[in-house]
Amino acid sequence: MLSSIKHIAAILLLASCLPASAQQTTSPPRLSVDWSKTLRTSVSTPTLQVVVNPKLRPDEIVRKMAYASLRDLDPEYARYVPWFPYPRMAVAELQPPTADKTSWDFGLVDPPAVDFFEATKGRNGYINFSTIPAWMFKTPKPVPVPSDPNMADWDYNQGTELVDPSGAQLGGYYRRIASWYTQGGFTDERGVVHKSGHHYELPLYEVLNEVEAEHSMTPAQYAQRYDAIVGGIRAVSPKTQFMGLALADPRGHPEFFEYFLNRANHKSGIPLDWISYHFYAVPEKGETINEWQYTFFSQAAGFVDGVKYIEAIRKRLSPRTRTMINETGAIMQSDMMQTNSSTADPVIPGGYWNLAGAVYAYVYEELAKLGIDVVGESQLVGYPTQFPSVTMVDWHTGKPNARFQVLKLLKDNMGPGDRIIDIGQGTVSFANPSIVEAAYVRKGARKVLLINRRATAASVDLPGAAGGAIQIVDQASAGGPIRREKLGSSLITLGGFAVAIVDLPEGKP
């Protein structure tokens, strides 16, 4: 048996090393689906995140176009993050209170937040004011705040130890933030009433972001700060659910899951409703897009394996806690080295947006098979100084790119309640390893997801597809409308990095 396994492995390795032209046969690979075989019923929602930056200020054309696309998408569980590189848009109290005054000011904080609340009303949109005011941490000297709200400040997040280790000050800050948006205002530390007029719902709140990196928290520190923030927000919004961790490197920090999901490490009554964590494919230094097509999908497959491990921890310690992967995407090396002055447009290779969209589609369909509740693509608007290669819209015009259109394709065609079909030997076809395949039944309709992982065209024969239709996002459609075509035969050819949904003709699944 061992020799047979070695023989099969050798054949597969040889096939994977052949160029795409050599892997094709005279007869395209056939995907035969037994529609009676159910793997599971999907619970997985595809969605996205919105990160605060100056492109979302009221006078920006990008804001208008991006939010129009967001409203048209109408996603569940969209994430909104006022984040530290722009502290004047993310922190509502930039200076500590004194004996006679406070510095509460929502003038720059409110407009993008209100835009988000209005665009996602009734759709379980949630917020994460992830940036703790710098003055709440012990630092050698006060942390300066740029006078220009449009200037990125990657040095704002300083300190590891809170000035008030009890967490009371921290909880009070977040209680007032929540009250501002849900109760019409709040009373500050000096007893002064601040009125907002806002009465939004807060169905879900995520507590801090990438905590193993931002302020270098330990699991115990984070659990204590989570409890303080949750306690503060629940005091004014008792129906809110809470999400914890938001780890940047989940596979590198299993200790956070072990500690956080152990209820003995939290105050009595503190809920553990959700956990969250992130994945980005990052190319190796010196690689080009010719190598990225392999690097990105290899890293994505490794992440999926890591999710299985994390899920085992969650099910053991807190099985009722739900999981959200709320940052998923790809980042170019140039983004990883950005500074406060990195304002020049980067060179984005042709096909990159489609490749990054294909990676998200792959991660989504793999995590749907594992029962992950939400998979969010990152992020609506990025631009120089704010991860431009992660954006889902053009940072000059606000028009969607292929990453946004891939999300729209998935959101309109896949989601909770789908019956995922077990198609046998994994999602990557043994006959054509360029193609990732998934089959499912949505409200009685048979559908097949096809993802071309490679830069060259690839074909698959899907019996029964003739007479059906296909929806495609590829390099020809790019960020334009999703292309829709009728299928005259069962032979389907996808361009490089294309993502497609095949709607089979009506018939009994």
pLDDT of residue 118: 96
Q: Do 410 and 49 meet the contact criterion of CB atoms below 8 Å apart?
A: no
pLDDT in tens, 388-401: 999 999 999 999 99
pLDDT bracket for residue 27 (50, 70, 90): confident
Mean per-residue pLDDT, 181-202: 98
Predicted pLDDT at 12: 38
What is the mean predicted confidence (pLDDT) over 436-455? 97
**Which pLDDT does position 506 carry in this prediction?**
84
Cis omega before residue 379 (within 30°)? yes
Residue 257 CA to residue 253 CA, distance in Å, equals: 8
DSSP 420: E
CA 52/CA 337 separation, integer angstroms: 20
d(CA 451, CA 391): 21
Whether 10 shows a pLDDT value over 70: the answer reads no
Which residues, in sequence order, are CB contacts of 508 under 8 Å at separation 6+?
Answer: none
The H or E element spanning position 275 is strand 274-281
pLDDT tens per residue across span 95-132 = 999 999 999 999 999 999 999 999 999 999 999 999 99
Q: What is the 3-state secondary structure (H, E, C) of 203-268?
A: CEEECCCCCCCHHHCCHHHHHHHHHHHHHHHHCCCCCCEEEEEEECCHHHCHHHHHHHCCHHHCCC
Phi, psi for residue 478 in degrees, rounded to 5: 50, -125
20-41+420-503: CATH, from 1.10.10.60, 3.40.47.10, 2.60.40.1180, 3.40.630.30: 2.60.40.1180
Q: What is the pLDDT of residues 62-76, one digit of tens each?
A: 999 999 999 999 999
Task: Please tell me the distance from the alpha carbon of residue 418 to that of residue 441, in angstroms, as a whole number.
Answer: 6
Q: Are 407 and 374 in contact (CB under 8 A)?
A: no
Question: Could you tell me if residue 53 is left (phi over 0), alpha (psi between -120 and 50 degrees) or otherwise beta?
Answer: beta
Q: For 324-372, what is each residue's pLDDT tens digit?
A: 999 999 999 988 887 777 788 999 998 999 999 999 999 999 999 999 9
Candidates 393, 394, 440; CA nearest to 420 is 440
Q: Per CATH, the architecture of 45-416 is what?
A: Alpha-Beta Barrel (3.20)
Phi, psi at residue 393, to the nearest 5°? -135, 160
For residues 275-298, average pLDDT: 96
What is the DSSP secondary-structure string of 171-197? HHHHHHHHHHHHSSEEE-TTS-EEE--
Would you give the distance in Å from CA 432 to the centre of its chain?
29
pLDDT of the residue at 425:
56
- What spatial distance separates the first Cα and last Cα of the chain, rounded to whole Å? 37
Q: Among residues 325, 326, 328, 331, which one has the least CA distance to residue 292?
A: 331
Find the mean pLDDT for residues 209-214: 97
Residue of 18, 17, 11, 30 lying closest to 435 (CA atoms): 30
Looking at the chain, the domain(s) classified CATH 2.60.40.1180 span 20-41+420-503
Give me the chain's average pLDDT, please: 92
Using DSSP, state whether 4 is helix, strand or coil. helix
For residue 436, the model assigns a pLDDT of 94
pTM of the model: 0.92
Instruction: Give start-end residues of each CATH 3.20.20.80 domain in the chain.
Output: 45-416
Contact assessment for residue 145 and residue 131, using Cβ atoms and an 8 Å cutoff: no
Cα 364 to Cα 379: distance, rounded to the nearest angstrom = 15
Scan for tokens 């961790």, then name that residue.
245
User: Do the beta carbons of residue 390 and residue 328 sit within 8 Å?
Assistant: no
DSSP state at residue 151: S
pLDDT value of position 342: 73
User: Percent of the chain having pLDDT more than 90?
Assistant: 87
User: In angstroms, rounded to a whole number, what is the distance separating the alpha carbons of residues 61 and 501?
Assistant: 32
